Every structure is written in C-alpha cells, then in structure tokens.
C-alpha cells in the first residue's frame, strides 16, 4: 500500500469547515483513498473513500486531485464532537487480490474550538 503523509495536528473553529489534507504521491492506479477517524478512546470509524472522483456522504466530502497524489477531507460544519484523530489510508481495490493489511499512520489530530 502507498504511504500517506498528514499534518500532525490542526485546529478548526466550531461551525466552520475543517479541511484535512493528505499526500499520497506514490499512489497506484488501483488504490483507493480511505478516511477513518478515532474519537478519544473509541475504535476507529469509517468516514468516506474514493478512487478518483470527488465523493460526498452524510459525514464529509472527499476531494481527490486530478493526479491523485493528494486529497482533502472536508467536514463542512465542524462541531465539538468532530474532535478526533483522522487517518488517511490508501489501499488496493478489494477485488484485485486477497486480504489487504491496513496500515494506520499517526493521523491528524483535529481540535474543534468553541
């Protein structure tokens, strides 16, 4: 799996959009970008994933650059409950092979400030 680089920490004012960047310059054509988050002391939670098109769901939006070397997770209206560590992961598409070991880095610690 391609390696990712994320800032160690970020702050965001409550109610504003939180934009979390991720660099994955060695990503392969068949690798997806996944985002998870881990609220303090809880198990990681899936947020969103994408291949090359921008994606949106009820939790967030994912913007992937045209060259796919970086992406941004957007939380449109951050709340205090969004304070968490956010992990960006790239993984080969499931149907290209067997089990894919997931490598979690240290992620970005997002602090939402009142």
Partner 1 sequence: NAGVTQTPKFQVLKTGQSMTLQCAQDMNHEYMSWYRQDPGMGLRLIHYSVGAGITDQGEVPNGYNVSRSTTEDFPLRLLSAAPSQTSVYFCASSYSSKSSGATDTQYFGPGTRLTVL
Q: How far is the CB of 92 from partner 1 (least distance, A)?
A: 10
Identified binder of partner 1 from the candidate list 13, 39, 80, 94, rule CB under 8 A:
94
Binding residue (CB under 8 A) for partner 1 from 46, 52, 54, 113: 46
1 Cβ contact partners less than 8 Å away, ≥ 6 residues apart: 31, 89, 90, 91, 92, 100, 101, 102, 103
- Cβ at position 13, least distance to partner 1 in Å: 25
- Give the residue from 82, 104, 81, 99 showing the smallest Cα distance to 34: 104
Give CA–CA dist 51/29, Å, rounded.
8
Which lies closer to partner 1 via its Cβ, residue 17 or residue 51? 51
> Which residues here bind partner 1, judged by CB under 8 A?
32, 34, 36, 41-46, 49, 87, 91, 94-95, 98-107
């Amino acid at each position: 799996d391609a390696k990712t680089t994320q800032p160690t920490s970020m702050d965001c004012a409550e109610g504003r959009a939180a934009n979390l960047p991720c660099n994955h310059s060695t990503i392969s054509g068949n690798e997806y970008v996944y985002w998870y988050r881990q609220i303090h002391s809880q198990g990681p939670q899936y947020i969103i994933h994408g291949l090359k098109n921008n994606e949106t769901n009820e939790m967030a939006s994912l913007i992937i650059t045209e060259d796919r070397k970086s992406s941004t997770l957007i939380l449109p209206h951050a709340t205090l409950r969004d304070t968490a560590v956010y992990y960006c992961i790239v993984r080969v598409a499931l149907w290209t092979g067997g089990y894919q070991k997931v490598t979690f880095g240290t992620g970005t610690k997002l602090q939402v400030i009142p």
